[in-house]
Chain A
Amino acid sequence: MQQFEEDEDNIGKGTRKVKLNQEQSTSIPLIPGILNMIFQFLTPQQYQQMRLVSHQFNAVVQQFNKSFLFTNVQKGTFQQFNNFIRQFSQLTKIKLPPISSEEHKLCDEIDPQYLTQVIFSDFLNDSESQQAYLKEFFQKYTSIISVGINKFYSLKWLPLENIKQLDLSTVIEIKDKSFLELSKNLVSLNIHIQEKNNFFSTAEFPPLEQLKVLKIKLWGPTFKEEHYQNFLNFLESIKNLEILELLFNTYESNQIKQDVFNAFINKLPNLRILKAFYCYEQIQNTQFKHRFDYLVIENNKFIKLKALDIPTLEMLLAFTNILDITNCSLEEDNEKLIQQFLENQRENQSQKNETILKVSFEQNHIKANNYEFPIVQKNSNFTTFWDSGYYSI
């Protein structure tokens, strides 16, 4: 595990160097521009893996050239669906419609080599035919490393050992957390934990040593006093986490307890990017602010801890598809560098299919220029759509 050391003197100048550690300091630097050229020769699956590897070298590369198709298919239109997606043989990411019987299959012409991410929408795999479909699906599409679901009956039908990114954010009820046992290669987890999930009611959590990114939505009464130690065990199991997005549901005027918040910060020594919504008070009461490179609270209001610089931006972009840094303020010295960096992002062809960069540094004269959702086909049931950063690594 690399340690990020910061040269405090250089932080304000936008020239912060993130060293790995002494032993690694003689590594040949991988420059993102060159990495992009190298990665053109990799298959999307290899590319995805290398992107995560290169992140660990602090040489984060950009989102690779992928197409994402969000589908919304009504009953009786599956033939149309298949005809439509036939034009995307190199599709890398797809949101599948609810599939109600085995006769509805994903178009066979999508190249299994390319398809790496899939989102199942309203897919209840509680019938034999659906389970058979899933089995066949994952046997064919072996490159898939990212899965998002909302209504799965059971997670055991997923090839969990291959999955690096799992989005369960819209699953209201996680009946069984045993899926974590097999998720040893998970890098990014997005999860919604409610009281009825009983997620913290038992003490055992398998170590998720690869997990770097956690987006967690917590509901107020989730933490019962007697479960607090179990919660700490959970944090122990994800001790290599680097990015945490903590969303606390405030309805019923609950507040996340200070000790719960502190535990997140205390138990995760490698955490360097924290997005903590509805936790303003708790953040104010902690002594840990100095630990973070980047900290966001409510509506992306930026608590300025350290100057927003390019290494941090690169890291954020590697894990976020929509980056809203509208309210960030910039150091005068690195404003130009960041502006140039963002311009390059916009010009980068490989980003245009998917990544949406939302920028508005009005005070600092950086033009607001949002990327429109790319529209593939408007006059039918099918449109492309990027529904926020939910499905981002």
Chain B
Amino acid sequence: MKFISQDDITFEIDNEVLRQCTKICNTDSSIVKLTSTKSKILQKVIQYCEMHLNDFDIPEIQKPIKYQHNIFDIVSFKDAQFITNLEFEEIIQIIQAAKFLGINTLIDLSCAYIAIKIRGKNSQQVKEMLKSNKPITDEQEQMDRDMEIKVKK
């Protein structure tokens, strides 16, 4: 199967990798267009699936997370390392892509990590955490807008 990202990058996906994508693994279509996912994000999503190529049963994360636990206490080391190396902004986009593809374990991993990071914080602290690292120029904003319009068409 092929995944095509918002910025028109094509990714070839093995059937083994596809197994994680519960919403599309049984579809007949050979091409899936992810019109709201950039290639950088899609790459991370595929990386996650490849990481779990041989994992047939990923344990569910317990809800709610105990106050004293951090992400390394509740998921495998490789998952914890994967998620902690990502920016908040990337994680939010990964959740959206994972939702579309039905990768529930990745959704849970991402949401649990964010929950751990924001719990107990006040609005100012959350605001700081959610600040995008990338300064947005007018030009970039226009480019993003153009891209959105193109995708909608």
Instruction: List residues of A whose CB falls within 8 A of some B CB.
Output: 24, 26-31, 34, 37-44, 46, 49-50, 53-54, 56-57
Contacts and interface: CB of A to CB of B under 8 A. Distances in A.
B118 A50 contact: yes
**Most A-side CB within 10 Å, residue of B116, B122, B123:** B123
Nearest to B135: A26
A30 B130 contact: yes
A67 B134 CA distance: 42
B123 A53 contact: yes
Interface residues of B, number: 30
B153 interface: no
A34 B96 contact: yes
A24 B126 CA distance: 12
A54 B127 CA distance: 10
A102 B117 CA distance: 42
Given A28-B89, A28-B92, A34-B92, A41 B130 contact: no
A288 B7 CA distance: 48
Contacts of A29: 92
Contacts, number: 70
Interface string B100-124: 0000000100011011101111110
Interface stretch (B19-27, B49-57, B62-70): B62-70
Residue in B61, B95, B118, B136 with the greatest tally of chain A CB atoms within 10 Å: B118
A71 to B, nearest CB: 26
Contacts of B127: 24, 27, 57
B88 interface: yes
Given A28-B88, A34-B96, A42-B115, 19 more contacts: A26-B132, A26-B136, A27-B130, A39-B115, A40-B63, A40-B64, A41-B63, A41-B115, A42-B64, A42-B119, A43-B67, A46-B115, A49-B120, A50-B119, A53-B122, A53-B123, A53-B126, A54-B126, A57-B123
24 contacts: A26-B131, A26-B135, A27-B127, A27-B131, A28-B89, A28-B92, A29-B92, A34-B95, A34-B111, A37-B111, A38-B111, A40-B111, A40-B115, A41-B111, A41-B115, A41-B116, A42-B119, A43-B67, A46-B119, A53-B126, A54-B126, A57-B123, A57-B127, A57-B130
Nearest to B67: A43
A38 B115 contact: yes
A29 B136 CA distance: 14
Chain A CB within 10 A, most for which of B64, B88, B127, B134: B64
B38 to A, nearest CB: 14
Contacts of B121: 53
A389 B134 CA distance: 43
A43 B68 CA distance: 12
A336 B78 CA distance: 44
A46 B120 contact: yes
Contacts of B130: 27-28, 30, 57
A44 B64 CA distance: 9
Nearest to B114: A38
A213 to B, nearest CB: 16
A317 B119 CA distance: 22
Listed residue (B63, B67, B95, B119) with the most chain A CB atoms within 10 angstroms of its CB: B119
A42 B112 CA distance: 9
Shortest beta-carbon contacts, A-B, top 6: A41-B115, A56-B123, A38-B111, A26-B132, A43-B64, A53-B123
Contacts of B111: 34, 37-38, 40-41
Contact of A27 (B63, B64, B132, B135): B132
A57 B125 CA distance: 12
B67 to A, nearest CB: 7
Q: Which of A28, A30, A43, A57 has the most CB of B within 10 A?
A: A28
A56 B124 CA distance: 10
Contacts of A40: 63-64, 111, 115
Nearest to B66: A43
B104 to A, nearest CB: 10
A338 B61 CA distance: 34
- Kindly name the residue among B61, B89, B126 whose own CB sees the greatest number of chain A CB atoms within 10 A: B126
